[in-house]
Amino acid sequence: MGAAPQRIRVARIIGRLNVGGPAIHTTLLTEQLDPERYETLLISGQEDPGEGNYLELRGGDVPGLVRVPAMRRAIHPLRDAAALAGITRLLRTFRPHIVHTHTAKAGTLGRLAALATPAPVVVHTFHGHVLEGYFSPARARVFVEIERRLARRTDAVLAVSPAVRAELLARGIGTAAIVRVLPLGLPLERFREGARPNDTLALRAELGLPPATVLIGIVARLVPIKAHETFLYAAADLARDRRELHFAVVGDGERRAELEGLTAALGLTGRVSFLGWRADLDRIYRALDVVALTSRNEGSPVALIEAMAAGRAVVATRVGGVPDLVEHGRSGLLVDPDAPPALATALARLLDRPDLRSEFALAGQRHVLERHGSQRLLDDIDRLYCELLRAKLGAEALAALMPVPPLRRAAAAGAGA
């Protein structure tokens, strides 16, 4: 008998596990890729104060997680050098077959460390349009050049939406052969249940609101790129003539005090509730009548995917990968960014047309459940990893690394019975 197959070792590296799509995506892959076939090491940096920690919010750790505290969001040459050294040591000990990096800082440090290991396969995921709207033009040009050079040493560059892929190629990052679209996959099961009266009434009671109150919400980090002021200006417009409306801001971040001040200045005190980070987002979405998103840039926004899975009608800005997710006039409404009157008009249209809200909600839910579920992501990643390893190592070497999948093994056993 031959030697027992090994498992494929995957080192997954993310800048930090703050509340947001990349943390959900990476922890899902770490925890749910077939453990008989894959051994995963998750390397993460440290969150900044006020960002929120995804693991604390969900109430559990991730097996195989190792922290590199020196890896932080801000650029800091000495700290970044220490983080690079720490990641390199971890990779040399773990000896991964695949290094898969997520987010910009981890993508740079992780891929440089992979060159020193070396790992047979290197993959990087762009979770959004990080090269536009976050940095000054001069700094953005530097980062683009870094990404171009790193892409030449990367076997697959993954974009979470067609719009992100198009932007990368337009900037000369990677080639059409290596830049692929691999949509987000999320655990959507808890969101897909229909709205329940106790959800609707419980949140309104928590906020001290009458049961008949109409709730419009936005779920996003309180950071400049999310442009919450657009939401608040639109809320002020709507609130003047609609006393039944209340607005919920879900999330936290560096702009909270500023946005609370703007709320007061707009005369919205008592009409807007800041809820902070919430672990019960499934219940929150089900209690909202409409969900808005006002970002100036997005890759594939988790908040919209979750809201649509929960059967909520959405209004969002026409930026980045949002039009790949929301079809205007069919599964939601899209408006230009930084345009509060347009947002207010779109929200009013949905408030006045319950039939339209239901139509959009049904179409949106069907779309995201078909295309953004966790099992689809796991299957896509499994196929990608096998394809890349086969190309690098050959079919025989891959077979030595890859135990027979459980379903195939069960079928073979049944055939031989």
Q: What is the pLDDT of residues 57-91, one digit of tens each?
A: 888 889 889 999 999 988 899 999 999 999 999 99
User: How much is the pTM?
Assistant: 0.90
- Domain residue limits, the chain: 8-187+373-416, 192-371
397 pLDDT band (50/70/90 cuts)? confident
CB 12 within 8 A of CB 114: no
Q: Do domains 8-187+373-416 and 192-371 have the same CATH topology?
A: yes
**DSSP secondary structure, 286-334, as one string:** HH-SEEEE--S--SS-HHHHHHHHTT-EEEEE--TTHHHH--BTTTBEE
135 pLDDT band (50/70/90 cuts)? low
Question: CA–CA separation, 96 vs 109, rounded Å?
Answer: 16
Report which residue type is found at 275.
Answer: L
Positive/negative CA dihedral, 368, 372, 375, 379: positive
CA 112, distance to chain mean position in Å, is 24
Q: In the CATH scheme, what is the code of domain 192-371? A: 3.40.50.2000
List the structure tokens of 231: 């939401």
Give the CA radius of gyration of the chain: 23
CB 208 within 8 A of CB 275: no
CB 71 within 8 A of CB 46: yes
CATH architecture for residues 8-187+373-416: 3-Layer(aba) Sandwich (3.40)
Cβ-Cβ contacts under 8 Å for 106 (sequence gap 6 or more): 13, 14, 15, 43, 45, 71
List the structure tokens of 270: 């008592």
What's the whole-number average pLDDT of the chain? 91
Question: CA–CA separation, 68 vs 84, rounded Å?
Answer: 9
Q: What is the pLDDT of residues 240-261, one digit of tens each?
A: 999 999 999 999 999 999 999 9
Q: What is the pLDDT of residues 29-55, one digit of tens each?
A: 999 999 999 999 999 999 988 788 899
